[in-house]
C-alpha cells in the first residue's frame, strides 16, 4: 500500500472495524541453537547470502542456505533476513507466507511479526485479519528480544526503534478502525516518538483528535503537519488532507483565521508546540425571551 496516496488517506477515515482471527502458533516449537556457525564454510555461505545486493536474489540465497544447512544455528536468522528481503522487494505474498513459516518454527520471532504486520497493513482491506493479533504480540516480544549475534549494537537499537514504531502504529490503526479512539490516540502518539516524520501517523493522529467528542484541537496541528509531509512526497495527497482540514477547522473555529499560520508553522516544526491552541467558535447565545 502506498501510504502517501490520497486513496489510502481517505480510506483511513472511512475504514470499518476489521474482524480478527487467531493465528495458530506451535507452542511445542523447539528453541533454535544460537551463536554463529562453527563451520567456516557454513559461516561464509551465510555471510555471502546476506551480502547479495538485489533483495529478491538475497532472499532466495538465504532460503537456499537454509536448505543446505537445515540444522544451522543461523537458520532462523537467515529466514528472518529472507522475510525482510522479500518485503523490501515488494513480494507481499511471499513475505506473508515465509513470515508465517518462521513463526511456526519460532513463535517469538519479533522480526517476522513486524514484517507480517507491515505487509498486512500495506494490503489494506485485502490483508490478513490476524495482523491485529501480531501487532499486540509484537510489543511484549520486542521487550524480550535479545540482540542476535549477527547484528551490531547500533543496528540492534535501530531495529528496536523501527519495530516499536511498526507495532504501536499498527495497534493504533486497528483501534482507530474499530472506533476505539482513545486507544488509537495513545498508540499513535507513541508511534510518532519512533518516527515523527511519518505521514500516516501524523495524519491518523490528527483524524482521531478531530473526530473525538469533544474535539481535541491539537489534531489540527497533526493534520497541518501531514499536509506538509504529503506535499513533500509529491503524490497529491496534500490536497485531499487540506480540503478535509479546512472544513473541520471552519466548523470548529468559525472561520479560517489562523489556519494558514498553523500550516506554515507545522512545516518547520516536527513536534507539537507547547503553546498550541485553537479557540473554539462559541455557539450563538439563546434569546432572552424565547418564543413558545
- pLDDT tens per residue, range 19-28: 333 333 333 3
pLDDT in tens, 137-154: 999 999 999 999 999 999
53 and 124 share one domain: yes
Q: Average pLDDT for residues 47-69, to the nearest whole number?
A: 98
Confidence of residue 129 (pLDDT cuts 50, 70, 90): confident
Position 3 pLDDT exceeds 50? no
Residue 233 counted as domain residue? yes
Stated pTM of the model:
0.82
- Confidence (pLDDT) at 171: 95
32 and 138 share one domain: yes
Q: Average pLDDT for residues 263-271, to the nearest whole number?
A: 92
- Confidence (pLDDT) at 35: 85
Rounded-to-integer distance, Cα 226 and Cα 197, Å: 9
41 and 141 share one domain: yes
Candidates 35, 22, 28, 67; CA nearest to 49 is 67
Q: How far is CA 81 from the centre of its chain?
A: 19
Confidence of residue 29 (pLDDT cuts 50, 70, 90): very low
Q: Which domain holds residue 215?
A: 1-16+198-280
Q: How many domains does one find in the chain?
A: 2
Confidence of residue 126 (pLDDT cuts 50, 70, 90): confident
Residue 134 counted as domain residue? yes
Percent of the chain with pLDDT over 70: 85
90 and 212 share one domain: no
- Confidence (pLDDT) at 286: 52
Percent of the chain with pLDDT over 90: 76
Sign of the dihedral through C-alpha 73, 143, 98, 49? negative
Residue 184 counted as domain residue? no
Among the candidates 177, 207, 228, a domain finishes at: 177
- Confidence (pLDDT) at 288: 56
43 and 146 share one domain: yes
Q: Which residues, other chains included, contact 37 with Cβ-Cβ below 8 Å and sequence gap of 6+? A: 43, 46, 69, 72, 73, 74
pLDDT in tens, 198-245: 999 999 999 999 999 999 999 999 999 999 999 999 888 999 999 999
pLDDT in tens, 5-21: 444 454 454 443 333 33
Position 2 pLDDT exceeds 80? no
43 and 166 share one domain: yes
For all residues of the chain together, what is the average pLDDT?
87
- Confidence (pLDDT) at 124: 79
30 and 166 share one domain: yes
Rounded-to-integer distance, Cα 114 and Cα 85, Å: 13
82 and 52 share one domain: yes
Residue 286 counted as domain residue? no
98 and 163 share one domain: yes
Q: Please give the backbone phi and psi of residue 127, each rounded to the nearest 5 degrees, phi first.
A: -75, 160
10 and 35 share one domain: no
- Strand segments (E) across 139-269: none
Amino acid at each position: 500500500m502506498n501510504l502517501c496516496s490520497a486513496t489510502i488517506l481517505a480510506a483511513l477515515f472511512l475504514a470499518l472495524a476489521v474482524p480478527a482471527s487467531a493465528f495458530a502458533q506451535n507452542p511445542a516449537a523447539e528453541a533454535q541453537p544460537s551463536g554463529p556457525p562453527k563451520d567456516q564454510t557454513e559461516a561464509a555461505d551465510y555471510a555471502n547470502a546476506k551480502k547479495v545486493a538485489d533483495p529478491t536474489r538475497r532472499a532466495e540465497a538465504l532460503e537456499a542456505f537454509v536448505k543446505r544447512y537445515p540444522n544451522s544455528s543461523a537458520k532462523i536468522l537467515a529466514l528472518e533476513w529472507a522475510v525482510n528481503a522479500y518485503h523490501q522487494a515488494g513480494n507481499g505474498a511471499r513475505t506473508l507466507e515465509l513470515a508465517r513459516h518462521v513463526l511456526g518454527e519460532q513463535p517469538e520471532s519479533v522480526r517476522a511479526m513486524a514484517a507480517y504486520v507491515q505487509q498486512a497493513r500495506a494490503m489494506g482491506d485485502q490483508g490478513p485479519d490476524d495482523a491485529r493479533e501480531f501487532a499486540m504480540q509484537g510489543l511484549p516480544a520486542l521487550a524480550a528480544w535479545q540482540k542476535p549475534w549477527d547484528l551490531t549494537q547500533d543496528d540492534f537499537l535501530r531495529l528496536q526503534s523501527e519495530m516499536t514504531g511498526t507495532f504501536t502504529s499498527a495497534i493504533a490503526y486497528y483501534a482507530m478502525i474499530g472506533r476505539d479512539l482513545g486507544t488509537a490516540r495513545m498508540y499513535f502518539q507513541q508511534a510518532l516518538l519512533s518516527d515523527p516524520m511519518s505521514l500516516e501517523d501524523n495524519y491518523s493522529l490528527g483524524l482521531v483528535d478531530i473526530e473525538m467528542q469533544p474535539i481535541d484541537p491539537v489534531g489540527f496541528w497533526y493534520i497541518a503537519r501531514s499536509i506538509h509531509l504529503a506535499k513533500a512526497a509529491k503524490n497529491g495527497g496534500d490536497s485531499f488532507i487540506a480540503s478535509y482540514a479546512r472544513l473541520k477547522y471552519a466548523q470548529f473555529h468559525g472561520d479560517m483565521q489562523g489556519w494558514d499560520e498553523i500550516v506554515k508553522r507545522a512545516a518547520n516544526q516536527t513536534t507539537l508546540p507547547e503553546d498550541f491552541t485553537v479557540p473554539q467558535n462559541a455557539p450563538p447565545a439563546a434569546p432572552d425571551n424565547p418564543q413558545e
